[in-house]
Structure 1
Amino acid sequence: MPTDLDAVLAALPLVDHHVHGASAVPLDRTAFETLITESDRPIPAFMTQFDSQLGFAIRRWCAPVLGLPAHASPGDYLARRAELGAAEVNRRLLAASGIGRFLVETGYRGDEVLDVAGMAAASGRPVAEIVRIERVLEEVAATGVSAAELPHRFRAELAARCADAVGLKSIVAYRHGFAFTPEPPAEREVVAAAGRWLADGAARVEDPVLLRFGLWTGVDQGLPIQLHTGYGDPDVELHLCDPLLLTRWLKLVEPYGVDVLLLHCYPYQRNAGYLAQVFPHVYFDVGLGVNYTGSRSDAVIAESLELAPFSKILFSSDAWGPAELHHLGAHLFRRGLGRALRGWVDAGEWTSADAIRVATMIGVTNALRVYGLEPTP
């Protein structure tokens, strides 16, 4: 029989505080395999992405949701996926995830996946938006704005986008890394950098001055700010994504009363735990690392519980594309959190009541508090 902790974990209406939309189109084998890796390179002919921790987890835990035996072959799995169709696959996997609320970041290839309304319809759960700072800056630049006008226009557009959002997200880790000058740039620096950027005709904002301007404009909105940290696709230089490099910037942000949420963090989850312990406004999760470490995700989750106060840890899946990632993010998180907490209860270190309370904080109530949300009906 399940223990009380098992039952609570299974029923938790998790708040996925950083996630993207699910794919709404059929995915053939090549398309599916390119979406279950963070590599953006062609898959070598000698291998398959199903031979990975994530690939094995999909065959074990998603196959039964689609009506197949556990450990179904990749070929059988993809055939069943095609038979059901994208809408039914999404409905089954999102429902099976038990996620109670999605905070959807819409700035990454948003036209290729379900938007906020689409995710709400597919899941039947409440959905709110997280706005990507750099995407808004790029959209403003694409309107033909002058360098002198860009700072004002961006501030106005970001404020307008924040009116219906619950948080912001920055990908400065991808575009430059965290070894940036932490202070806000002067207006003249922003205009000069904007002039160089617009003259080059580049679509992506990569200038560190403009990235800092975006970050600090985000701080001025007063909403929680998420930062991609650590592991990601080859666009990142991982050694520059250690959250400890943000220490000076975090100190400068602290007086503003804005919460900073470090996303994913792998392999720097212990460094993120330190920052969450020493700074009242810093929170973190191990989102992206959970799916990709599969059967080893228990260890990653346990390490995230070592140092940080439990009121500073959240759940996210960072799923984008296949709804398998939404489902697995939740399933593996529940399992890993449960195994860590149950071990301490069985050893007499914790009471079962305390374990249940902490699981509920991490899975649900911390996110509700940070983002100012009401509990899921």
Structure 2
Amino acid sequence: MLPVDLPDTVREALLAPLVDHHCNGVRRDELSRSQFELLIGDGGGPAPPGTTHFDTPFGAAVRRWCAPVLGLAPHVTPSVYLSRRAELGAGEVNRRLLRAAGVAAFLVDTGPESGELLSAAEMGRHADAAADEIVRIEQIEHDVAEMARIAVDYLDSLAEELVARAARAVGMNTVIAHRCGLDFDPSRPSRGSVIAAANRRLSDPKERLTDPVLLRHLLWTAVDVARERGLPLQFHTGAGDADVEPHRADPARMTGFIKALQPIGVPVVLLHCYPFHRQAAHLAALFPHVYVDVGQALARTAAGAWRIMDEVLELAPFHKQLFSSDCSGVAESCHLGAVYFRRSLGVALKPRVDAGEWTAADAARVAHMVGSGNARRIYRL
């Protein structure tokens, strides 16, 4: 799985248990081929007629690296792979793939709440790992909006519920990038503008929140809670929701907000970032409270993932980088996230050691920091 001729100390560090600091639950139910393909494709839609999402870097990686975990030869056809998946059943498939990832602790985003998805505790049990919760603030807002009757109740309940949920979590996160873009006004909105926006919100609380004023209020309320409890605040950035113009998910667009948070001391964790990973790495280099990962980009680019890892290593301090699989929907995404993290980091480290730029001890230390040490420090695990 790793590049050949790596020093033993580096190989051991790369193969050590990981902390997956951002993932989602995986499906607990049996999946048809069409359901499985929707979950492995980008954009959430089916492949064009006569084609398949297996004809992607991720789909090829499933056949290469996940097939052996299910007891198949590498590179079996999609139909053989899916037949074996159905034969084993969802529970066994999830256990095998989650355990094969070699993850010691999962930090699970509770945003996409659904009875079809494994909970944080279930993810831990299936993987024989620890598991903690990352609270998605937009989900809390949605729950509060459905219960509130007037704007003042909405504002009070929102703050109270964020405090209550944060007490059981190791971090909070936001998808504001996919609701209104990261080029939002970084200032706190006035109370009058928030009340007016809340009244509009409560007229149709079942809709997804997209109002920039309320999203900013929600974000700043979360900042207050995160500061009180010493929690990091994660931001989804880069490729993601197809409803938002892609360039508006560039983390460089939230530089004003990042600067506003620096005196407050709340850690800002930029998730995923690709294809804006260079901008994100630059922000991590500039600001002491900013951290970065490349998440699902490694599994989605598969054999080309080392280029992304190499570019992040060029720019971001090593103590600012984190591992996440951004596992979502199918357990294959967790296993592949770990496989390509280890492979791409190994490929990026090897020439640095071979050229004498780093010692083997240097490379092993970086592998440890990025794979688990930084997350344990930032999330106080």
State whether residues 21 and 110 of structure 1, in contact with CA within 8 Å, keep that contact through their aligned partners in structure 2: no
- How far residue 79 of structure 1 moved from its aligned partner, in angstroms, is 0.4
Rounded Cα–Cα distance in structure 2 between residues aligned with 1:278 and 1:6: 28
Query: Is 1:243 matched with 2:243?
Result: no
1:278-317 equivalence runs, <5 A: 278-317=286-325
Name 1:224's counterpart in structure 2.
232
1:18/1:203 CA distance change after superposition, 3 Å: same
Cα deviation, 1:255-292, whole Å, max 9, x if unaligned, reads: 11100000000000000011000100000100021111
1:146-295 equivalence runs, <5 A: 146-221=150-225, 222=227, 223-295=231-303
State whether residues 39 and 330 of structure 2, in contact with CA within 8 Å, keep that contact through their aligned partners in structure 1: yes
Rounded Cα–Cα distance in structure 2 between residues aligned with 1:124 and 1:114: 14
Range that drifts further, 22-31 or 69-78? 22-31
Give the partner amino acid of 1:18.
H
State whether residues 24 and 114 of structure 1, in contact with CA within 8 Å, keep that contact through their aligned partners in structure 2: yes
Name 1:17's counterpart in structure 2.
21
Tell me, which stretches of 5 or more residues in structure 1 are unaligned? none
Q: Secondary structure at the match of 1:319?
A: coil
Rounded Cα–Cα distance in structure 2 between residues aligned with 1:41 and 1:99: 30
- How far residue 105 of structure 1 moved from its aligned partner, in angstroms, is 0.3
State whether residues 38 and 233 of structure 1, in contact with CA within 8 Å, keep that contact through their aligned partners in structure 2: no
State whether residues 19 and 103 of structure 1, in contact with CA within 8 Å, keep that contact through their aligned partners in structure 2: yes
Name 2:114's counterpart in structure 1.
110
Rounded Cα–Cα distance in structure 2 between residues aligned with 1:10 and 1:359: 6
Aligned CA-pair RMSD: 1.2
Rounded Cα–Cα distance in structure 2 between residues aligned with 1:9 and 1:54: 25
Query: Is 1:361 matched with 2:369?
Result: yes
- How far residue 143 of structure 1 moved from its aligned partner, in angstroms, is 0.7
Cα deviation, 1:198-228, whole Å, max 9, x if unaligned, reads: 1234421110011111111111112100000
Rounded Cα–Cα distance in structure 2 between residues aligned with 1:154 and 1:314: 30
Q: Secondary structure at the match of 1:142?
A: helix
Query: Is 1:47 matched with 2:51?
Result: yes
Name 1:371's counterpart in structure 2.
379
- How far residue 302 of structure 1 moved from its aligned partner, in angstroms, is 1.1
State whether residues 225 and 260 of structure 1, in contact with CA within 8 Å, keep that contact through their aligned partners in structure 2: yes
Give the partner amino acid of 1:32.
F
Range that drifts further, 288-297 or 163-172? 288-297
TM-score by length of 1: 0.97
- How far residue 10 of structure 1 moved from its aligned partner, in angstroms, is 4.5
Rounded Cα–Cα distance in structure 1 between residues aligned with 2:128 and 2:255: 39
Rounded Cα–Cα distance in structure 2 between residues aligned with 1:40 and 1:265: 19
- How far residue 2 of structure 1 moved from its aligned partner, in angstroms, is 5.9
Cα deviation, 1:51-86, whole Å, max 9, x if unaligned, reads: 000000000000011000000100000000001111
- How far residue 189 of structure 1 moved from its aligned partner, in angstroms, is 1.3
Name 2:352's counterpart in structure 1.
344
Name 1:123's counterpart in structure 2.
127
Equivalent of 2:342 in 325, 328, 334: 334
Rounded Cα–Cα distance in structure 1 between residues aligned with 2:165 and 2:43: 31
Rounded Cα–Cα distance in structure 1 between residues aligned with 2:250 and 2:345: 24
Rounded Cα–Cα distance in structure 2 between residues aligned with 1:208 and 1:180: 7
Rounded Cα–Cα distance in structure 2 between residues aligned with 1:256 and 1:273: 21
Rounded Cα–Cα distance in structure 1 between residues aligned with 2:99 and 2:122: 14
TM-score by length of 2: 0.96
- How far residue 346 of structure 1 moved from its aligned partner, in angstroms, is 0.9
Rounded Cα–Cα distance in structure 2 between residues aligned with 1:145 and 1:186: 21
Q: Secondary structure at the match of 1:39?
A: helix
Name 1:144's counterpart in structure 2.
148
Rounded Cα–Cα distance in structure 2 between residues aligned with 1:185 and 1:149: 18
List, as ranges, runs of 4+ consecutive aligned residues in structure 1 with deviation greater than 4 Å. Answer: none
Rounded Cα–Cα distance in structure 2 between residues aligned with 1:124 and 1:237: 39
Query: Is 1:92 matched with 2:100?
Result: no
State whether residues 9 and 338 of structure 1, in contact with CA within 8 Å, keep that contact through their aligned partners in structure 2: no
Give the partner amino acid of 1:295.
A
- How far residue 232 of structure 1 moved from its aligned partner, in angstroms, is 1.0
Q: Secondary structure at the match of 2:324?
A: coil
Matched residues, number: 373
- How far residue 5 of structure 1 moved from its aligned partner, in angstroms, is 4.1
- How far residue 110 of structure 1 moved from its aligned partner, in angstroms, is 3.3
1:68-83 equivalence runs, <5 A: 68-83=72-87
- How far residue 109 of structure 1 moved from its aligned partner, in angstroms, is 3.9
Rounded Cα–Cα distance in structure 2 between residues aligned with 1:112 and 1:226: 24
Q: Secondary structure at the match of 1:306?
A: helix
